[in-house]
Amino acid sequence: MSAAEKYALITGGAGFIGTNLADRLLTSGKRVLVYDNLSRLGVEKNLAGLREKHGPRLLIDIADVRDPFSLKKAVQGAGSVFHLAAQVAVTTSIIDPVSDFEVNARGTLNLLEALRSMRTPPPLVFTSTNKTYGELRDIIIRSNTTRYMLDDPKLSEFGIGEDRSIDLHSPYGCSKGAADQYVLDYARTFGIKAAVFRMSCIYGPHQFGTEDQGWVAHFLISAIEGKPITIYGDGMQVRDVLFVDDLVEAFLQAVRNIDSLSGEAFNIGGGPQNTTSLLELLNIIENLHTERPSLRFDHWRAGDQRYYVSDIRKFKALTGWTQRVGFEEGVRILYEWLLETRGTSRPRLTAVGKGSL
């Protein structure tokens, strides 16, 4: 099979991130194989939209990463591999740790073994998580009225770097952390060209956010539908957030530069310039939607970080990548996409207080 005939293989390709990546690749004229078991609610709509828009350039394999035989077949025609398929919720991992392990750790090992069996394996980009760093209990934080802040000026300026020790917490953290380390070791031991993205919060169109995962979209959906939001903790926890188009560009940059990136992990997120707390996001939603969603508060969840911001300098230095979509702009784009896909009109704007970003 010639290089021109090869496709980009996206495991979990019908999900939120996978759909955006597939659309970008297909729009550029490339072929894409979406490999997905369609277990996540709503993803069949994503797949149908890709099929309608792109036609025969889109290939579909309804299969599971726990099936090593299907994976071995799927990688044979791949020119690049983006491994996004995962069990993504800490809460689900606590309810069923074995399934969480089978999908995240064993599923990744199945893929790595499939690649290792090839004479010339294609490059691999694997999406890990900031949860591999644990609760970050040792960093000193203080709070104002809307967010936690750090006392360490260097951490405040740049965020958490890749030199931070792994500290796996929760079954989800363990399964993703194990997969993360397997990918890095297969690059070292077997020469597979692979890079790991330890991702912070990603948001954007095609995201069907829930209480357990995809909280930016979940907050917006709740506001649009007039449903209350439950905040676990006090709402002052801080994350850096990255618009999905910028993440897709980072994926493509990783493949282009895989020779210099292989065997390395990178913290990928919005960085210190794109941070928010849960309470601050609610202020932005109030500006967009003209009313503030009703809130409930509950206990902190296991492994929740009060403060996490990615130090993204390493990846930027090696590739020249940068974020282009600011947080408030990105939230507006997602909000308008959610309204459009629901056939809902935008509320008439009234005078409300400005958000704290």
103 located within any domain: yes
Percent of the chain with pLDDT over 90: 84
Question: What is the pLDDT averaged over residues 279-299?
Answer: 92
Q: Which residue has the higher pLDDT, 355 or 305?
A: 305
Which residues neighbour 1 within 8 Å (Cβ) at sequence distance 6 or greater?
A: 77
pLDDT at 301: 83
pLDDT above 70: residue 181: yes
99 located within any domain: yes
pLDDT at 351: 36
pLDDT above 50: residue 353: no
pLDDT above 50: residue 347: yes
pLDDT at 3: 56
pLDDT above 80: residue 344: no
E strands, 152-301, in order? 194-199, 201-203, 229-232, 238-243, 265-268, 275-277, 295-298
Question: What is the pLDDT averaged over residues 247-253?
Answer: 98
At 340, the pLDDT band (50, 70, 90 cuts) reads: very high
pLDDT above 80: residue 350: no
Least confident of 204-208, 238-242, 269-273: 204-208
Question: What is the pLDDT averaged over residues 146-151?
Answer: 93
At 204, the pLDDT band (50, 70, 90 cuts) reads: very high
Which residues neighbour 299 within 8 Å (Cβ) at sequence distance 6 or greater?
A: 232, 233
| Long-range contact pairs involving 163-167 (C-beta distance under 8 Å, separation at least 24) | 164/133, 165/133, 166/132, 166/133, 166/134, 167/132, 167/133, 167/134, 167/135, 167/136
Active site residue 148: no
Tell me how far apart the alpha carbons of residues 94 and 226 are, in angstroms, rounded to a whole number: 29
23 located within any domain: no
The single-letter code of the amino acid at 288 is L
How many folded domains does the chain comprise? 1
Domain carrying residue 193: 86-342
pLDDT above 70: residue 357: no
pLDDT at 356: 29
pLDDT at 302: 75
Query: Where residue 127 sits, what CATH number does that domain have?
Result: 3.40.50.720
3 located within any domain: no
233 located within any domain: yes
Residues 23-41 have pLDDT tens digits of: 999 999 999 999 999 998 8
Catalytic residue, candidates 35, 133, 172, 335: 172
33 located within any domain: no
53 located within any domain: no
| Tokens 């895989």, located at residue | 258
This prediction has a pTM of: 0.93
pLDDT above 60: residue 2: no
49 located within any domain: no
